[in-house]
Each structure stands twice: as structure tokens, then as C-alpha cells.
Amino acid sequence: MGARRDPLSVRLIKESTMAETDEKHEETRPADCACVRDPFADLPPELRPRRKPRMGNLRQVTCPGCGLKYWTNRSTDLCMDCEKKGVKIPE
């Protein structure tokens, strides 16, 4: 017994052989699968959903008191040392 082929592969084989034999025949291919396309490709960049940042909710800040660059999830930009010393952020 020969190996069975699924209907899609048989149809594609027939279409490819028809396209090779008939120069006037346009080759038809199945549409791109929706599972591999970007579903938001038609949206402008500002409306596309944003990816979650790799660092979670951490952000990189520079301490206005001493100039230290560090990562934090706190709402203040003062580093722990400046906060302990009582440095105030100039407004």
C-alpha cells in the first residue's frame, strides 16, 4: 500500500505541477497562516500593545543627591544612603 497524503499536500502538488506545465496559469499559494503573522501588524506603533519589561517593574534612575545610577522599584529617586542622610530633592 502506498503512503496516504493529506488533501492539502495533494492540492499543493497538483497546483505546482499545473503551474510548471501551463505558463499562463498563475501559481496560487495558500494564504499565510494567521498563527504565524503578527496580529497587530496593521496598527500604528503607538497603538500596539507593549511588551512586559524584562526587569519587571524596576526602573533605572540617577540619584539627584549623589549621582549614583541604580535600579529601583520605589517611587522616590533618592538612593538609600541619601535618604538616610536626609538629603531633600530640589524642586
Task: Quote the pLDDT of residue 40.
Answer: 83
pLDDT digits 0-9 by tens, 22-80: 544 445 555 556 566 778 888 898 888 887 777 778 999 999 989 999 999 999 899 99
CA distance 60 to 81: 17
Q: Where are the domains of the chain?
A: 8-47
Task: Centre a 10 Å sphere on the Cβ of residue 63 and count the other Cβ atoms it contains.
Answer: 20
Task: Quote the pLDDT of residue 50.
Answer: 82
pLDDT at residue 1 above 60? no
CA distance 10 to 66: 71
